[in-house]
Structure 1
Protein backbone atom coordinates (compact mmCIF):
# COMPACT_ATOMS: atom_id res chain seq x y z
CA UNK A 1 0.00 0.00 0.00
CA UNK A 2 2.82 2.39 0.93
CA UNK A 3 4.55 1.52 -2.33
CA UNK A 4 1.36 2.30 -4.28
CA UNK A 5 0.93 5.65 -2.50
CA UNK A 6 4.56 6.49 -3.24
CA UNK A 7 4.13 5.66 -6.92
CA UNK A 8 0.95 7.77 -7.11
CA UNK A 9 2.68 10.65 -5.35
CA UNK A 10 5.62 10.49 -7.75
CA UNK A 11 3.21 10.35 -10.70
CA UNK A 12 1.29 13.41 -9.48
CA UNK A 13 4.54 15.29 -8.84
CA UNK A 14 5.70 14.47 -12.37
CA UNK A 15 2.43 15.83 -13.78
CA UNK A 16 2.72 19.03 -11.76
CA UNK A 17 6.34 19.39 -12.81
CA UNK A 18 5.49 18.88 -16.49
CA UNK A 19 2.67 21.40 -16.26
CA UNK A 20 4.96 23.89 -14.58
CA UNK A 21 7.59 23.41 -17.25
CA UNK A 22 4.96 24.01 -19.94
CA UNK A 23 3.66 27.11 -18.23
CA UNK A 24 7.16 28.44 -17.66
CA UNK A 25 8.10 27.75 -21.27
CA UNK A 26 5.00 29.43 -22.68
CA UNK A 27 5.43 32.44 -20.41
CA UNK A 28 9.06 32.82 -21.41
CA UNK A 29 8.30 32.40 -25.13
CA UNK A 30 5.54 35.00 -25.01
CA UNK A 31 7.85 37.32 -23.07
CA UNK A 32 10.53 37.00 -25.75
CA UNK A 33 7.94 37.84 -28.40
CA UNK A 34 6.88 40.88 -26.39
CA UNK A 35 10.53 41.99 -26.43
CA UNK A 36 10.58 41.71 -30.22
CA UNK A 37 12.80 38.60 -30.20
CA UNK A 38 10.84 36.64 -32.79
CA UNK A 39 13.57 34.14 -33.67
CA UNK A 40 14.29 33.27 -30.04
CA UNK A 41 10.60 33.02 -29.22
CA UNK A 42 9.94 30.84 -32.27
CA UNK A 43 12.76 28.48 -31.29
CA UNK A 44 11.35 28.07 -27.80
CA UNK A 45 7.80 27.52 -29.06
CA UNK A 46 9.17 24.88 -31.45
CA UNK A 47 10.73 23.01 -28.51
CA UNK A 48 7.46 23.21 -26.59
CA UNK A 49 5.53 21.95 -29.61
CA UNK A 50 7.74 18.86 -29.83
CA UNK A 51 6.67 17.91 -26.31
CA UNK A 52 3.08 19.20 -26.37
CA UNK A 53 2.01 17.33 -29.50
CA UNK A 54 -1.71 17.54 -28.67
CA UNK A 55 -1.59 21.23 -27.81
CA UNK A 56 -2.27 23.59 -30.74
CA UNK A 57 -1.08 26.77 -29.02
CA UNK A 58 2.73 26.56 -29.49
CA UNK A 59 2.45 26.16 -33.27
CA UNK A 60 -0.33 28.75 -33.32
CA UNK A 61 1.99 31.32 -31.76
CA UNK A 62 4.81 30.41 -34.14
CA UNK A 63 2.46 31.10 -37.05
CA UNK A 64 1.01 34.27 -35.52
CA UNK A 65 4.39 35.74 -34.62
CA UNK A 66 6.03 35.13 -37.95
CA UNK A 67 3.06 36.24 -40.04
CA UNK A 68 2.61 39.51 -38.15
CA UNK A 69 6.36 40.17 -38.19
CA UNK A 70 6.42 39.62 -41.96
CA UNK A 71 4.17 42.62 -42.60
CA UNK A 72 6.23 45.47 -43.97
CA UNK A 73 9.34 43.37 -44.63
CA UNK A 74 10.72 44.58 -47.96
CA UNK A 75 13.28 41.85 -48.53
CA UNK A 76 11.44 39.06 -50.36
CA UNK A 77 13.72 36.25 -49.16
CA UNK A 78 13.36 37.33 -45.53
CA UNK A 79 9.60 37.71 -45.88
CA UNK A 80 9.24 34.31 -47.52
CA UNK A 81 11.36 32.65 -44.81
CA UNK A 82 9.06 34.05 -42.13
CA UNK A 83 5.92 33.10 -44.02
CA UNK A 84 7.24 29.59 -44.69
CA UNK A 85 7.89 29.21 -40.96
CA UNK A 86 4.39 30.47 -40.17
CA UNK A 87 2.67 28.31 -42.79
CA UNK A 88 4.52 25.14 -41.80
CA UNK A 89 3.55 25.53 -38.14
CA UNK A 90 -0.03 26.44 -39.00
CA UNK A 91 -0.46 23.50 -41.39
CA UNK A 92 0.39 21.06 -38.58
CA UNK A 93 -2.46 22.36 -36.43
CA UNK A 94 -4.96 23.01 -39.22
CA UNK A 95 -4.67 19.36 -40.24
CA UNK A 96 -5.71 18.38 -36.71
CA UNK A 97 -8.21 21.21 -36.13
CA UNK A 98 -9.64 22.30 -39.52
CA UNK A 99 -12.56 24.14 -37.91
CA UNK A 100 -10.57 26.18 -35.39
CA UNK A 101 -11.47 29.85 -36.09
CA UNK A 102 -8.29 31.13 -34.43
CA UNK A 103 -6.20 29.14 -36.91
CA UNK A 104 -8.33 30.49 -39.75
CA UNK A 105 -7.59 34.06 -38.67
CA UNK A 106 -3.84 33.38 -38.80
CA UNK A 107 -4.17 31.76 -42.23
CA UNK A 108 -5.99 34.89 -43.36
CA UNK A 109 -3.14 37.00 -41.97
CA UNK A 110 -0.60 34.93 -43.90
CA UNK A 111 -2.64 35.45 -47.07
CA UNK A 112 -2.78 39.19 -46.34
CA UNK A 113 1.01 39.37 -46.05
CA UNK A 114 1.22 38.02 -49.59
CA UNK A 115 -1.34 40.54 -50.79
CA UNK A 116 0.39 43.49 -49.12
CA UNK A 117 3.79 42.41 -50.42
CA UNK A 118 2.63 42.36 -54.05
CA UNK A 119 -1.01 43.49 -54.50
CA UNK A 120 -1.00 43.32 -58.28
CA UNK A 121 0.28 39.75 -58.39
CA UNK A 122 -1.30 38.29 -55.26
CA UNK A 123 -4.47 40.29 -54.70
CA UNK A 124 -6.67 38.37 -57.10
CA UNK A 125 -5.24 35.05 -55.95
CA UNK A 126 -5.51 35.48 -52.18
CA UNK A 127 -8.35 37.98 -51.59
CA UNK A 128 -11.25 35.57 -52.34
CA UNK A 129 -9.59 32.81 -50.28
CA UNK A 130 -9.12 35.19 -47.38
CA UNK A 131 -12.72 36.38 -47.40
CA UNK A 132 -13.87 32.77 -47.55
CA UNK A 133 -11.77 31.98 -44.47
CA UNK A 134 -13.21 34.91 -42.54
CA UNK A 135 -16.77 34.01 -43.51
CA UNK A 136 -16.24 30.42 -42.40
CA UNK A 137 -14.62 31.51 -39.12
CA UNK A 138 -17.46 33.94 -38.46
CA UNK A 139 -20.05 31.22 -39.05
CA UNK A 140 -18.28 29.00 -36.49
CA UNK A 141 -17.54 31.72 -33.93
CA UNK A 142 -19.80 34.74 -34.52
CA UNK A 143 -18.81 36.35 -31.21
CA UNK A 144 -15.06 35.84 -31.52
CA UNK A 145 -13.60 39.37 -31.42
CA UNK A 146 -10.45 38.48 -33.39
CA UNK A 147 -12.55 37.01 -36.19
CA UNK A 148 -14.84 40.06 -36.29
CA UNK A 149 -12.09 42.69 -36.06
CA UNK A 150 -9.64 40.96 -38.42
CA UNK A 151 -12.34 40.43 -41.04
CA UNK A 152 -13.42 44.06 -40.75
CA UNK A 153 -9.83 45.30 -41.04
CA UNK A 154 -9.28 43.22 -44.15
CA UNK A 155 -12.49 44.61 -45.66
CA UNK A 156 -11.47 48.17 -44.73
CA UNK A 157 -8.21 47.67 -46.61
CA UNK A 158 -10.07 46.41 -49.67
CA UNK A 159 -12.62 49.24 -49.44
CA UNK A 160 -9.87 51.85 -49.21
CA UNK A 161 -8.20 50.34 -52.27
CA UNK A 162 -11.41 50.52 -54.29
CA UNK A 163 -12.65 53.80 -52.79
CA UNK A 164 -15.72 52.28 -51.11
CA UNK A 165 -17.53 53.27 -47.91
CA UNK A 166 -16.19 51.66 -44.70
CA UNK A 167 -19.14 52.42 -42.38
CA UNK A 168 -20.30 48.80 -42.07
CA UNK A 169 -16.78 47.60 -41.32
CA UNK A 170 -16.30 50.32 -38.72
CA UNK A 171 -19.50 49.22 -37.03
CA UNK A 172 -18.10 45.69 -36.85
CA UNK A 173 -14.91 47.00 -35.23
CA UNK A 174 -17.07 48.84 -32.71
CA UNK A 175 -19.03 45.62 -32.03
CA UNK A 176 -15.81 43.69 -31.43
CA UNK A 177 -14.40 45.96 -28.71
CA UNK A 178 -16.75 44.96 -25.84
CA UNK A 179 -16.31 41.34 -26.90
CA UNK A 180 -12.57 41.76 -26.45
CA UNK A 181 -13.07 43.42 -23.07
CA UNK A 182 -15.40 40.69 -21.77
CA UNK A 183 -13.62 37.72 -23.32
CA UNK A 184 -13.17 34.71 -21.04
CA UNK A 185 -10.10 32.65 -21.84
CA UNK A 186 -10.23 28.85 -21.91
CA UNK A 187 -6.60 28.64 -20.71
CA UNK A 188 -4.05 31.21 -19.47
CA UNK A 189 -2.35 31.05 -22.89
CA UNK A 190 -5.42 31.17 -25.13
CA UNK A 191 -5.39 33.91 -27.80
CA UNK A 192 -6.35 37.29 -26.36
CA UNK A 193 -4.71 39.76 -28.73
CA UNK A 194 -6.51 42.34 -30.84
CA UNK A 195 -8.09 44.92 -28.53
CA UNK A 196 -5.44 47.62 -29.00
CA UNK A 197 -5.55 47.20 -32.76
CA UNK A 198 -9.34 47.36 -32.82
CA UNK A 199 -9.33 50.56 -30.75
CA UNK A 200 -6.76 52.08 -33.11
CA UNK A 201 -8.85 51.14 -36.15
CA UNK A 202 -11.98 52.60 -34.59
CA UNK A 203 -10.21 55.93 -34.03
CA UNK A 204 -9.36 56.04 -37.73
CA UNK A 205 -12.93 55.27 -38.77
CA UNK A 206 -14.65 58.34 -40.23
Structure 2
Protein backbone atom coordinates (compact mmCIF):
# COMPACT_ATOMS: atom_id res chain seq x y z
CA UNK A 1 0.00 0.00 0.00
CA UNK A 2 2.81 2.36 0.92
CA UNK A 3 4.51 1.60 -2.39
CA UNK A 4 1.29 2.34 -4.35
CA UNK A 5 0.88 5.69 -2.58
CA UNK A 6 4.52 6.50 -3.32
CA UNK A 7 4.00 5.70 -7.02
CA UNK A 8 0.85 7.84 -7.18
CA UNK A 9 2.63 10.77 -5.53
CA UNK A 10 5.57 10.33 -7.89
CA UNK A 11 3.29 10.28 -10.94
CA UNK A 12 1.44 13.35 -9.70
CA UNK A 13 4.71 15.18 -9.11
CA UNK A 14 5.95 14.32 -12.60
CA UNK A 15 2.64 15.55 -14.03
CA UNK A 16 2.94 18.86 -12.17
CA UNK A 17 6.54 19.21 -13.32
CA UNK A 18 5.58 18.61 -16.94
CA UNK A 19 2.75 21.11 -16.68
CA UNK A 20 5.06 23.64 -15.12
CA UNK A 21 7.60 23.20 -17.92
CA UNK A 22 4.86 23.65 -20.51
CA UNK A 23 3.55 26.80 -18.86
CA UNK A 24 7.05 28.23 -18.45
CA UNK A 25 7.84 27.51 -22.08
CA UNK A 26 4.62 29.04 -23.39
CA UNK A 27 5.01 32.11 -21.17
CA UNK A 28 8.57 32.57 -22.42
CA UNK A 29 7.44 32.22 -26.05
CA UNK A 30 4.79 34.91 -25.56
CA UNK A 31 7.38 37.10 -23.86
CA UNK A 32 9.68 36.78 -26.88
CA UNK A 33 6.80 37.47 -29.23
CA UNK A 34 5.84 40.56 -27.26
CA UNK A 35 9.44 41.78 -27.56
CA UNK A 36 9.22 41.40 -31.37
CA UNK A 37 11.61 38.44 -31.29
CA UNK A 38 9.30 36.58 -33.62
CA UNK A 39 11.82 34.09 -34.94
CA UNK A 40 12.87 33.00 -31.45
CA UNK A 41 9.23 32.85 -30.31
CA UNK A 42 8.26 30.72 -33.30
CA UNK A 43 11.14 28.34 -32.71
CA UNK A 44 10.17 27.96 -29.07
CA UNK A 45 6.51 27.29 -29.93
CA UNK A 46 7.74 24.68 -32.40
CA UNK A 47 9.88 22.96 -29.76
CA UNK A 48 6.97 22.96 -27.33
CA UNK A 49 4.69 21.47 -29.98
CA UNK A 50 7.07 18.53 -30.36
CA UNK A 51 7.05 17.91 -26.63
CA UNK A 52 3.28 18.44 -26.32
CA UNK A 53 2.14 16.13 -29.10
CA UNK A 54 -1.50 16.16 -27.98
CA UNK A 55 -1.79 19.94 -27.55
CA UNK A 56 -2.83 22.04 -30.56
CA UNK A 57 -1.97 25.43 -29.08
CA UNK A 58 1.84 25.49 -29.60
CA UNK A 59 1.49 24.55 -33.28
CA UNK A 60 -1.33 27.06 -33.65
CA UNK A 61 0.85 29.90 -32.36
CA UNK A 62 3.87 28.79 -34.38
CA UNK A 63 1.67 28.99 -37.48
CA UNK A 64 0.23 32.36 -36.49
CA UNK A 65 3.67 33.92 -36.16
CA UNK A 66 4.67 32.74 -39.64
CA UNK A 67 1.41 33.97 -41.16
CA UNK A 68 1.55 37.43 -39.59
CA UNK A 69 5.19 37.75 -40.64
CA UNK A 70 4.27 37.02 -44.25
CA UNK A 71 2.19 40.16 -44.72
CA UNK A 72 4.25 42.75 -46.51
CA UNK A 73 6.71 40.23 -47.94
CA UNK A 74 7.64 41.18 -51.51
CA UNK A 75 9.39 38.02 -52.64
CA UNK A 76 7.04 35.18 -53.62
CA UNK A 77 9.58 32.44 -52.94
CA UNK A 78 10.09 33.73 -49.41
CA UNK A 79 6.35 34.17 -48.96
CA UNK A 80 5.63 30.59 -49.97
CA UNK A 81 8.40 29.30 -47.70
CA UNK A 82 6.85 31.05 -44.70
CA UNK A 83 3.28 30.07 -45.52
CA UNK A 84 4.19 26.46 -46.32
CA UNK A 85 5.85 26.26 -42.93
CA UNK A 86 2.77 27.80 -41.33
CA UNK A 87 0.58 25.29 -43.17
CA UNK A 88 2.56 22.41 -41.71
CA UNK A 89 1.95 23.75 -38.21
CA UNK A 90 -1.75 24.27 -38.93
CA UNK A 91 -2.08 20.77 -40.37
CA UNK A 92 -0.59 19.37 -37.19
CA UNK A 93 -2.94 21.45 -35.05
CA UNK A 94 -5.92 20.28 -37.13
CA UNK A 95 -5.01 16.63 -36.61
CA UNK A 96 -4.93 17.17 -32.86
CA UNK A 97 -8.08 19.30 -32.71
CA UNK A 98 -10.50 18.72 -35.57
CA UNK A 99 -13.32 21.15 -36.35
CA UNK A 100 -11.67 23.83 -34.24
CA UNK A 101 -13.00 27.30 -35.16
CA UNK A 102 -9.78 28.99 -33.98
CA UNK A 103 -7.74 26.90 -36.41
CA UNK A 104 -10.24 27.40 -39.22
CA UNK A 105 -10.08 31.20 -39.07
CA UNK A 106 -6.28 31.05 -38.86
CA UNK A 107 -6.31 28.96 -42.03
CA UNK A 108 -8.39 31.72 -43.55
CA UNK A 109 -5.79 34.26 -42.42
CA UNK A 110 -3.11 32.20 -44.17
CA UNK A 111 -5.16 32.26 -47.36
CA UNK A 112 -5.62 36.02 -46.96
CA UNK A 113 -1.83 36.43 -46.86
CA UNK A 114 -1.69 34.98 -50.36
CA UNK A 115 -4.43 37.36 -51.52
CA UNK A 116 -2.65 40.33 -49.94
CA UNK A 117 0.49 39.40 -51.87
CA UNK A 118 -1.21 39.07 -55.26
CA UNK A 119 -4.94 39.56 -55.47
CA UNK A 120 -5.08 38.87 -59.19
CA UNK A 121 -3.31 35.54 -58.86
CA UNK A 122 -4.77 34.24 -55.59
CA UNK A 123 -7.90 36.30 -55.00
CA UNK A 124 -10.51 34.10 -56.65
CA UNK A 125 -9.35 30.72 -55.36
CA UNK A 126 -8.50 31.83 -51.82
CA UNK A 127 -11.65 33.90 -51.35
CA UNK A 128 -13.75 30.84 -52.22
CA UNK A 129 -11.81 28.73 -49.73
CA UNK A 130 -12.24 31.38 -47.06
CA UNK A 131 -15.97 31.56 -47.66
CA UNK A 132 -16.20 27.88 -46.78
CA UNK A 133 -13.90 28.22 -43.78
CA UNK A 134 -15.84 31.14 -42.28
CA UNK A 135 -19.13 29.36 -42.88
CA UNK A 136 -17.90 26.26 -41.08
CA UNK A 137 -16.33 28.22 -38.22
CA UNK A 138 -19.52 30.24 -37.73
CA UNK A 139 -21.65 27.09 -37.60
CA UNK A 140 -19.31 25.59 -34.99
CA UNK A 141 -19.07 28.73 -32.86
CA UNK A 142 -21.61 31.43 -33.80
CA UNK A 143 -20.82 33.45 -30.66
CA UNK A 144 -17.05 33.24 -30.85
CA UNK A 145 -15.87 36.88 -31.02
CA UNK A 146 -12.73 36.00 -32.98
CA UNK A 147 -14.76 34.16 -35.61
CA UNK A 148 -17.20 37.07 -35.98
CA UNK A 149 -14.41 39.66 -36.16
CA UNK A 150 -12.34 37.61 -38.61
CA UNK A 151 -15.31 37.21 -40.97
CA UNK A 152 -16.15 40.90 -40.65
CA UNK A 153 -12.57 41.82 -41.61
CA UNK A 154 -12.80 39.57 -44.65
CA UNK A 155 -16.12 41.15 -45.66
CA UNK A 156 -14.68 44.64 -45.19
CA UNK A 157 -11.63 43.74 -47.28
CA UNK A 158 -13.86 42.47 -50.08
CA UNK A 159 -16.04 45.57 -49.90
CA UNK A 160 -13.02 47.84 -50.21
CA UNK A 161 -11.66 45.82 -53.12
CA UNK A 162 -14.92 46.31 -55.03
CA UNK A 163 -15.27 49.94 -53.98
CA UNK A 164 -18.28 49.30 -51.76
CA UNK A 165 -19.17 50.71 -48.34
CA UNK A 166 -17.85 48.92 -45.28
CA UNK A 167 -20.52 50.37 -42.96
CA UNK A 168 -22.87 47.33 -43.21
CA UNK A 169 -20.24 45.24 -41.44
CA UNK A 170 -19.72 47.61 -38.52
CA UNK A 171 -22.52 45.88 -36.63
CA UNK A 172 -20.58 42.61 -36.78
CA UNK A 173 -17.53 44.25 -35.26
CA UNK A 174 -19.73 45.72 -32.53
CA UNK A 175 -21.15 42.27 -31.79
CA UNK A 176 -17.65 40.79 -31.64
CA UNK A 177 -16.58 43.50 -29.19
CA UNK A 178 -19.58 42.86 -26.94
CA UNK A 179 -18.95 39.12 -26.90
CA UNK A 180 -15.21 39.63 -26.47
CA UNK A 181 -15.73 41.71 -23.34
CA UNK A 182 -17.88 38.99 -21.80
CA UNK A 183 -15.74 36.02 -22.82
CA UNK A 184 -14.18 33.91 -20.08
CA UNK A 185 -11.19 31.77 -21.01
CA UNK A 186 -11.08 28.42 -19.21
CA UNK A 187 -8.00 27.04 -20.98
CA UNK A 188 -4.63 28.60 -20.29
CA UNK A 189 -3.01 30.22 -23.35
CA UNK A 190 -6.25 29.89 -25.32
CA UNK A 191 -6.51 32.59 -28.02
CA UNK A 192 -7.88 35.80 -26.58
CA UNK A 193 -9.95 38.53 -28.13
CA UNK A 194 -7.88 41.57 -29.11
CA UNK A 195 -10.24 44.27 -27.85
CA UNK A 196 -8.14 47.33 -28.70
CA UNK A 197 -7.57 46.14 -32.23
CA UNK A 198 -11.30 45.47 -32.68
CA UNK A 199 -12.13 48.96 -31.42
CA UNK A 200 -9.69 50.46 -33.91
CA UNK A 201 -11.28 48.45 -36.72
CA UNK A 202 -14.72 49.67 -35.67
CA UNK A 203 -13.56 53.27 -35.69
CA UNK A 204 -12.20 52.91 -39.23
CA UNK A 205 -15.32 51.07 -40.33
CA UNK A 206 -17.65 53.79 -39.13
CA UNK A 207 -15.63 56.45 -40.94
CA UNK A 208 -16.47 54.93 -44.33
Work out whether the TM-score is over 0.5.
yes
Change (3 A) 1:8 1:96: closer
Aligned residue number for residue 99 of structure 2: 99
TM-score (norm 2): 0.94
Cα deviation, residue 62, structure 1: 0.8
Alpha-carbon distance in 2 for matches of 1:63, 1:193: 18
Runs of at least 5 residues in structure 1 that lack an aligned partner in the other structure: none
TM-score (norm 1): 0.95
Change (3 A) 1:185 1:27: same
Alpha-carbon distance in 2 for matches of 1:41, 1:76: 24
Runs of at least 5 residues in structure 2 that lack an aligned partner in the other structure: none
Decide whether the 8 Å contact of 2:54 with 2:96 is kept in 1. no
Q: How do residues 158-197 of structure 1 correspond to structure 2 at under 5 angstroms?
A: 158-197=158-197
What CA deviation, in whole Å up to 9, does each residue of 1:112-143 have, x standing for no partner?
00000000111011111112111111111011
Alpha-carbon distance in 2 for matches of 1:97, 1:121: 31
Change (3 A) 1:81 1:196: farther
Decide whether the 8 Å contact of 1:62 with 1:85 is kept in 2. no
Decide whether the 8 Å contact of 2:101 with 2:137 is kept in 1. yes
Q: How do residues 5-44 of structure 1 correspond to structure 2 at under 5 angstroms?
A: 5-44=5-44
